[in-house]
Amino acid sequence: MTDLARAGVAETARLLTTGKTSARAVVDEALARIDAGNAALNAFTVVLAEQARAEADARDRALAAGETPGPLHGVPIAIKEEVDVAGCVTTYGGDGNETPVTADAELVRRLRAAGAVVIGKTAMPEFGAWPFTESVSRGLTRNPWDPSRTPGGSSGGTAAAVAAGLVPAGIGGDGGGSIRIPSACCGLFGLKPQRGRVSTAPAPHLWWALGTAGPLTRSVRDSALVYDAIRGNVEGDLFRAGESESFVGAAEREPGRLRIGWTTTPSARGVRPHPRHVQAVQDTARLLADLGHEVREVDPALPDPTAAFVPQFFAGIRAEAGEVEHYDRLERRTRQTCRLGGWVTPRVREWALRETGKVSSRANRAFDDIDVLLTPAIAPRPPRVGRLEGVGSLRASLRAMPMIAYAALWNVAGNPAAAVPCGPAADGLPVAVQLVGRTDDEATLLSLSAQLEQARPWPLLAGDRAGG
């Protein structure tokens, strides 16, 4: 494995802007790693080799001409299938579309403006409906830590690509945990930002109030760098976040002494966390106390988000499925989901959006006397691949529940929440905890996560061990 494979976003950009290497060399090496490693993982569905090389050459020419490089200069980045990339079909993980789009999504436009090179598109379950990256048309995406296990979902292709060192970073989406869940399964840092922090254009929203987009990375600072490049809004965005400081600045400063509450009780009823995940929360709580924070177990009486979540889940999938060119080519399970969601009329959807406000208000009472909430990221250990094979929508939903049990509430509430790696467990798979912040307070999560990263370094790539 080369040094470039281990270099993250910040280090790759530094090597490029200081003349230690060229964007073309970085992209060529990334393409070689993808060629060597993707067959075993099924992380990339489209590799834009010719376009990426041309884009890298343009970055090199601009630097040679004396142009000021962007913060992501020459960094290869993968994009989840649901995000528009000019010249590519936006497949949503299936076969319903066949016509390439003509323009980048706003966040992709911002990535390119910051100097990034779009190298390919990554696998997802159809319409991002499930926390397992499996589909009839694309097959199974595998966890680079253990190919018999899932990388999670729905941004599992992105997670597998980044965790395996194929690319320094990738873009995912999070409508019910889909950045945090695969980050937890693959040993990455994954921040779901405040609702409305990142533009969803050209779409006005992503599953109404539930979804947002953002990077999956191997370090906190890398995540902050990408977010500072892509965050912001355009006319037509349904949701807009409040003001926030520089994410990079937040990741580079000390968090100060924080009041941190921890709990292992999920908002989803009937779900029990794996003992290793309970231990991870307790170990992290002790470490945070050693770092000088005020840490205590809490019983925040978090609300069950189901009534607000489910109608928006159905409405989001039905809306996306209704816009594809060939509905008949969608998976049987997807079409079943659309039929089951027929009861979600516009009136029901509007009711769910009003309920979202109520759930958010109740959930945020947890922060009346704490600054950050610490929980498990997911309930089970990463399951074996094949969780969706031969099952319909209802059984898939039941299998999904333990994966989203700690995550989905914060999609409804809108708060920022991050999956923070704790290193590998005895089974060789990663362990993670979730940190949840106040409304619009990604900065505290970034500074606290960076402090944890420094105190308890996690492996850079799948197969590494801390300190190895």
Catalytic site positions: 80, 154, 178
Q: What angle do CA 149, 152, 158 make, to 5 degrees?
A: 110
In terms of DSSP bridges, do strands 372-376 and 259-262 run parallel, antiparallel, or are they unpaired? parallel
Residues 189, 376: Cα–Cα separation, whole Å: 14
Contact 155, 141 (CB under 8 A): no
Name every residue whose Cβ is closer than 8 Å to that of residue 235 and which is 6 or more positions away in sequence: none
Identify the bridge partners of residue 434 per DSSP, sorted by sequence position.
Answer: 375, 419
Q: What's the token pair of residue 212?
A: 């947002």
Q: What's the token pair of residue 268?
A: 């989803």
Place of tokens 């779009």: 118
Let me know if 465 is exposed, middle or buried by CB neighbors in 10 A (0-12, 13-18, 19+): exposed
Q: From the centroid of its chain, how far is CA 115?
A: 21
Identify the bridge partners of residue 212 per DSSP, sorted by sequence position.
Answer: 174
CA-derived radius of gyration, the chain: 20
Q: What angle do CA 220, 253, 193 make, to 5 degrees?
A: 45
Tell whether the torsion through CA atoms of 42, 207, 310 and 348 is positive or negative: negative
For 10-68, where are the E strands, in sequence order?
44-47
Place of tokens 């010719």: 50
Residues 175, 468: Cα–Cα separation, whole Å: 35
Contact 163, 122 (CB under 8 A): no
467 membership: H or E segment, kind and range = none
Residues 382, 377: Cα–Cα separation, whole Å: 11
Q: DSSP letter string over 203-244?
A: SS-STTTT-EEEEEESSHHHHHHHHHHHBB--TT-S------
**Edge-to-edge strand list for the sheet holding 117-122:** 44-47, 117-122, 76-80, 169-174, 212-217, 189-192, 417-424, 430-437, 372-376, 259-262, 294-297
